[in-house]
């Protein structure tokens, strides 16, 4: 491993979707540490002063403006930011686990809350080239589902990903994995926003409520605003969907979802 050309990065992880919902997303964004620090003071102050959460967004002007600033500032150089998303059906995981449950009672939670997050992060830090060594700090929005009697995501991820690096001969190191509380870092809030936007686009629900209409309208405003760079960024994300027929994650072109969403919401243009 060549440590002469280190590339220091921050990775932020979050999930979207409740346990009783068919579509459940887990996603992570990678931001070079030097780029992250450029507007840290300004963007951290925004998330500290505003309660920004995509799930509860309903069109409030101040929150809308804060979201636009966060997205536009972070994606100013969108080619530096990477995002991976996994989409899966919890019910399918439950069904697949039935033969294993008598042996490992918490196998479903272990799969969802340790294996999938590892897969998201691993996909962000591998294959940078033999002359680049990735130094990564991983931050996860705290949720007690990641901490259980027999597992702890921050401990397991640190251990397993560094083992993977050695085993596969990859050029990366996970320096730390830490939990962060809500509104403690703009990285966590931007991840929540981007993952929420991805989910809204995939679901492509009609604007039959004030909250749904506000979300669809804001996404369309961002997609058509060249200064936000959201459209170009979303075309670059890597979406992996769980396919029932093969029981595996397959790379799916997110641009197809983007096109369908756009064409379904043309009413918000102009």
Q: Which CATH number fits the domain that encloses residue 81?
A: 3.30.420
- Counted domains in the chain: 1
Q: Does some domain include residue 210?
A: no
Q: Does some domain include residue 55?
A: yes
User: How many residues are recorded in the chain?
Assistant: 270
Strand, coil or helix: what is 228? Answer: coil
Q: Does some domain include residue 234?
A: no
Confidence (pLDDT) at 244: 67
Confidence (pLDDT) at 21: 74
Q: Does some domain include residue 261?
A: no
Q: Give exposure, 193-221, as e/b (b: 16+ Cβ within 10 Å).
A: bbbbbbbbbbeeeebeeeeebbbbbbbbe
Q: Which domain holds residue 89?
A: 6-198
pTM above 0.85, yes or no: yes
Which residue blocks in the chain are alpha helix, DSSP H? 33-38, 40-49, 61-74, 90-97, 107-110, 116-125, 153-168, 186-203, 210-223, 230-236, 254-264
pLDDT tens, N- to C-terminus, the chain (270 residues): 445 589 999 999 999 887 667 788 999 999 999 999 999 999 999 999 888 889 889 999 999 999 999 999 999 999 999 999 999 888 788 888 889 999 988 888 888 888 899 999 999 999 888 889 999 999 999 988 888 878 899 999 999 999 999 999 999 999 999 999 888 899 999 999 999 999 999 999 998 999 999 999 999 999 999 999 999 999 999 999 987 666 678 999 999 999 999 999 999 987
Q: Does some domain include residue 82?
A: yes
Q: Does some domain include residue 20?
A: yes
Q: Does some domain include residue 233?
A: no
Confidence (pLDDT) at 17: 80
Separation between Cα atoms, residue 12 and residue 191, nearest integer Å = 6
Q: Does some domain include residue 94?
A: yes
């Amino acid at each position: 491993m060549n440590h002469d050309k280190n590339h220091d990065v921050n990775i932020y992880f979050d999930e979207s979707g409740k346990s009783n919902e068919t579509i459940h997303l887990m996603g992570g964004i990678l931001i070079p540490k030097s780029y992250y620090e450029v507007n840290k003071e300004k963007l951290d102050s925004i998330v500290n002063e505003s309660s920004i959460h995509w799930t509860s967004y309903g069109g409030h002007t101040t929150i809308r403006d804060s979201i636009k600033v966060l997205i536009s500032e972070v994606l100013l150089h969108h080619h530096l930011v990477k995002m991976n998303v996994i989409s899966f059906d919890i019910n399918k995981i439950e069904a697949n686990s039935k033969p294993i449950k008598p042996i490992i009672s918490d196998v479903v939670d272990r799969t969802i809350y340790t294996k999938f997050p590892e897969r998201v992060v691993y996909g962000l830090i591998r294959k940078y080239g033999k002359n680049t060594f990735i130094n990564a700090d991983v931050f996860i929005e705290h949720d007690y589902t990641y901490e259980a009697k027999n597992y702890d995501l921050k401990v397991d991820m640190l251990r397993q990903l560094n083992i993977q690096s050695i085993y596969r001969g990859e050029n990366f190191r996970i320096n730390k994995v830490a939990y962060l509380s809500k509104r403690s870092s703009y990285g966590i809030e931007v991840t929540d926003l981007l993952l929420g936007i991805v989910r809204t686009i995939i679901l492509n629900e009609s604007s039959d409520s004030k909250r749904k209409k506000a979300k669809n309208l804001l996404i369309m405003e961002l997609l058509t605003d060249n200064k936000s760079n959201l459209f170009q960024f979303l075309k670059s994300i890597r979406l992996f969907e769980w396919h029932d027929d093969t029981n595996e994650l397959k790379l799916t072109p997110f641009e197809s979802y983007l096109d369908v969403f756009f064409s379904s919401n043309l009413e918000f243009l102009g």
